[in-house]
Amino acid sequence: MTRRRDLIVVAALSIIFAGAGWAELNEAGKAAYSRGDFAEAERLFREAIAAAPREPMPHYHRGVALTRLRRFSEAAAAYREALQLDPPAALASAARAGLSAVEPASPRPLRDDGLAPPARDRSRTHRAEAPSDSVRLQRKLGNWFVDVVLNDMQRATFLVDTGATICAITPALAEALGIQRDPESAPILIHGVTGSTYAPVVIIPSLRVGDVETQNVRAVIMPLRGMQGILGNTFLARYTTTIDPVQGVLTLSPR
């Protein structure tokens, strides 16, 4: 009797998944990804691809999940497949960024003796290089911006704001990352120059600045003019943060 009940349950689940459209499977994959279950997310995105092989979105999302699983060659193939399916501009940009993050760097050319040339001696350059825990900043309209990498694959440029209590990302960036709001956190009130608004809270699984990576970074989703995100104190407060305005360098040191 127990075996018969198990067979009935399996059959019922098969009917449910067979009837699910690619969009439902894609959303289920995003939910699994948000929980940190990357293997389940990858499986659901594969199911979505099987249901709609010409849709670029599940190919891209599968690439994201494969990146988190460190299956980089498969992730690169998934990103390429998404790009071949004529995706919208935002999705194409995200897929190209993902592809550049997982493709191996080009090897250095060999010398006549068959050896790779030595790395450049940075101590002899005229301009001092930033140490390993420091990164170059970009100055725009009186503010400092820095390049970040989210979830090991998505590159973006964030405003560095040591006065911001929480990090922030745009809705478009959240969609590209497959990040959904944290169901255990209520929206929080954000005060800005143009007024106040409630913003949903999300958890970014990985946020990297230079060689410094922090996991499970709390952030909000909100529209941002002229930027993709804000690097606030849910990231910065974990480090001793120093901005050198003369050199244009952000230094992050462990507390």
pLDDT digits (tens, 9 = 90+) for 70-110: 787 898 899 899 999 988 876 776 777 667 666 653 333 44
Please report the pLDDT score of residue 119 as a whole number. 39
Type of residue found at 114: G
pLDDT tens digits, one per residue of 172-223: 999 888 888 877 778 877 765 445 678 889 999 999 999 899 989 999 999 8
Neighbours of 233 (CB within 10 A): 16
CA–CA distance, 67 with 150 (Å, rounded to integer): 11
Residue 156, CA distances (Å) to 104, 124, 153, 169, 230 in order: 20, 31, 10, 10, 10
Neighbours of 93 (CB within 10 A): 15
Q: What is the pTM of this model?
A: 0.52
CA–CA distance, 20 with 7 (Å, rounded to integer): 20
Q: Which two tokens stand for residue 252?
A: 């992050």
Residue ranges of domains in the chain, CATH in brackets: 2-102 (1.25.40.10), 130-254 (2.40.70.10)
Query: What percent of the chain clears pLDDT 70, i.e. is strictly above it?
Result: 75
Confidence of residue 115 (pLDDT cuts 50, 70, 90): very low
Confidence of residue 170 (pLDDT cuts 50, 70, 90): very high
pLDDT tens digits, one per residue of 27-59: 898 888 877 788 998 999 999 999 999 999 999
Angle formed at CA 207 by CA 42 and CA 213, multiple of 5 degrees: 110
